[in-house]
Amino acid sequence: MKAKQIPPFGLRMQSDLKRKIEESAQLNGRSQNAEVVYQLTRLYFPERFKQGEVS
């Protein structure tokens, strides 16, 4: 699904977690949104990483 087809999802989080996402996103050269999606994909679909589907 293309990004423009995905409805926005508001997310509230504690400031310390938000800082971690910001730091991780910057280190990995991703937007904060992309970093959250990446980390959740790693957690819930680890098989995609073994197959090289996600970078």
Q: Which residues contact 39 (CB under 8 A, 6 or more apart)?
A: 21, 24
**What is the C-alpha radius of gyration for the chain, rounded to an integer number of angstroms?**
12
Q: What is the pLDDT of residue 14?
A: 97
In the chain (55 residues long), the average pLDDT of successive 10-residue segments reads 80 96 97 95 90 69
Task: Give the whole-angstrom CA distance, residue 2 versus residue 5.
Answer: 5
Q: What is the pLDDT of residue 34?
A: 94
Q: What is the pLDDT of residue 50?
A: 79
Task: Give the whole-angstrom CA distance, residue 18 versus residue 37.
Answer: 14
At residue 27, what is the residue type? L
Q: What is the pTM of this model?
A: 0.79
Q: What is the pLDDT of residue 55?
A: 65
